[in-house]
Amino acid sequence: MPSLVNMEVELAVKGFLIDQEKMAEVVERMTKELKMGLAKDTHPRAVIKCFVTYVQDLPTGKERGKYLALDLGGTNFRVLLVNLVGQSDIQITSKSYDFPSTLMTGTGKALFDFLAECLAEFCKENGLENDNLPLGFTFSFPLQQQGLSKGILVAWTKGFNCEGVVGKNVVQLLQDAIERRGDLKINTVAVLNDTVGTLMSCAFNHPNCRIGLIVGTGSNACYVEKTVNAECFEGYQTSPKPSMVINCEWGAFGDNGVLEFVRTAYDKVVDKVTPNPGKQTFEKCISGMYMGELVRLVVVEMIGKGVMFVGDSSQKIQQRWSFKSSYISDIESDGPGEYRSCNKVLHELGIIGSQEADKEALRFICEAVSSRSAKMCACGLVTIINKMNINEVVIGIDGSVYRYHPKYHDMLHFHMRKLLKPGVKFELVVSEDGSGRGAALVAATAGQSKPKM
């Protein structure tokens, strides 16, 4: 343990330090839940829903043509034009739009009108109004798909709570908004989750990619399952296609209480102040939306006990959600005995004259929270690899936590290696723009897999 870290701090973060035995237990419990989600009989009561995506064709690398993509991923919204010219030549024109926070909890109509307005603006700017291009819609919330272009929203996550959308087909809501405008010809051919986009985007260049993972604002994974095991797919026994991409929706793992043995008192406090208490238990242990708040709660408790930032606290750190998850990446990017990034973070929080011991303690707390995230994520990936029963796999990954945390990749790799059976080879690959390029590839494979007339 770092010598500068106070015993009280070590005690506070103890619950985040999950040992090998507990990780093995997480894998065992998750395996059981995953199987329940796949099976028709147990699906209704399963917490890991294992939704069928209707994506049965992975890219071959030979897909060509122009496609539009919409990406609603939580805190960002983008419209993209993807031109698949060749395997190593993909031309992307994209534009991000400022997403008013009021839309996150307003009406569904307002939300989809905004999406259609941005789409129309983008098409006009790029001279596409009359091209009737196929559109892939990345909608990164739990969807129950009833077809490639029909996805019913099961529940809002990531701070969203728009009325009139849960239980509805989001593709229809988008098409209705486009038609209300009357100035666009667009054909939405596929709706997909960002995990599926990540998998597809990675598979375009890595034929062995079979898992898509997101560790960003939220967390989720999808993987390629044998069609005969996807019992919630109507034609699962007779389908001519051997594979089906399954959207796990693993964020809800633990909503039935099976993760209580790895949750801390801080997790419970965070859960209570979210818009969806009691939901997305696994995600709340892993993703960027919650990690910063977990660190803040520990720090505030330590300040209250007089063991950190004595006489040097600030009002800002007392405010909920004021400790951004990106601060964790910043603080952990400092080398041993260095505090340059840490000082910047403290300055932003209005804490100026802190001692080295305080900075060391803060880093220790950040490391406890981020390493637990990586360990839980490793458990999830190992569960999926074991379920697929394969010896070699590429995992496409996206999301701000994985991309920007300086040690996340290495931690994930290390803990997966420890949990997997000997001889299993895996590669973790950053997916290039899964939500945009991946959406275009789903639209492209959808077009190609239709029977020729």
Sign of the dihedral defined by the CA atoms of residues 40, 420, 429, 369, in that order: positive
| 330 carries an active-site annotation | no
pLDDT at 374: 98
pLDDT at 385: 98
360, amino acid identity: E
pLDDT at 87: 75
189 neighbors 150 (Cβ within 8 angstroms): no
End-to-end CA distance of the chain: give it in Å, rounded.
68
Helix (H, G, I), strand (E, B) or coil at 246: strand
pLDDT at 177: 95
Structure tokens at 195: 């995990």
pLDDT at 432: 80
Among residues 346, 253, 219, which one has the least CA distance to residue 295?
A: 346
| Strand-pair partners of 97 | 77
| 358 carries an active-site annotation | no
pLDDT at 75: 65
Q: Residue 336 contacts by C-beta under 8 Å, 6 or more apart in sequence?
A: none
Catalytic residue among 71, 113, 194, 433: 194
Q: Residue 79 contacts by C-beta under 8 Å, 6 or more apart in sequence?
A: 68, 69, 70, 71, 94, 95, 97, 118, 119, 122
**Separation of alpha carbons 160 and 56, rounded Å:** 30
Q: Give me the residue spans of the domains in the chain.
A: 55-204+433-443
Q: Per-block average pLDDT, block size 10, for the chain (453 residues)?
A: 76 96 98 97 96 92 90 83 85 90 92 95 91 90 90 89 95 94 88 93 93 95 97 91 96 97 98 94 96 98 94 89 97 95 96 90 98 98 97 96 97 98 96 85 74 32
Among residues 53, 126, 59, which one has the least CA distance to residue 86?
A: 59
Among residues 319, 320, 405, 339, which one has the least CA distance to residue 370?
A: 405
281 neighbors 254 (Cβ within 8 angstroms): yes
Catalytic residue among 49, 71, 113, 158: 158
pLDDT at 157: 86
Look up the CATH superfamily of 55-204+433-443.
ATPase, nucleotide binding domain (3.30.420.40)
pTM above 0.75, yes or no: yes
